[in-house]
Amino acid sequence: MILYDADDKLCVASENTIRLWDFYDTREVPPELWASHEFTNETIQKVYLNEHGKGDFVFIVVTDRQCYVFEERLTLRAHINLSTEHGRVTAVAFNQESTQAYLGTSNGYVISWDLNEGKADSEPMLISQDK
């Protein structure tokens, strides 16, 4: 669960569905369902949000099979397919302008992802490797 946009919106993920809720600004009523996306035959592992960055809100959803980039109302922006060599995504950070996402993987790689272009900036960098 993530509150964002000055605590005006709520992101909730279950095993296979992500939902966005919008609170009414001036009323003490339950929030309205704003958007929803269901993953078929995949399990959500983690959801990352650029909640303190500039620009559009970007969600990176990591499942047991893939990694997805969504914007604002869960509009799919890109799939991030990693090779088995790189491992699975275990951490995500965004730059202040929300133009880059940095993906850390279980095999010690860091991938710089250009959010505007929808692709990696360069080859993944091996930072550390368990031996």
For the entire predicted model, the pTM comes to 0.90
Closest among 74, 42, 61 to 101, alpha carbons compared? 61
Q: What is the pLDDT along the chain (131 residues), one digit of tens a residue?
A: 999 988 889 999 999 999 999 998 776 788 899 999 999 999 999 999 998 878 889 999 999 989 999 999 999 999 998 888 899 999 999 999 999 999 999 999 999 999 999 999 889 999 976 65
Question: What architecture is the 2-126 domain classified under in CATH?
Answer: 7 Propeller (2.130)
**Which residues touch 29 (CB under 8 Å, ≥6 apart)?**
none
**How is the chain split into domains, by residue range?**
2-126
CB 125 within 8 A of CB 107: no
CB 19 within 8 A of CB 11: yes
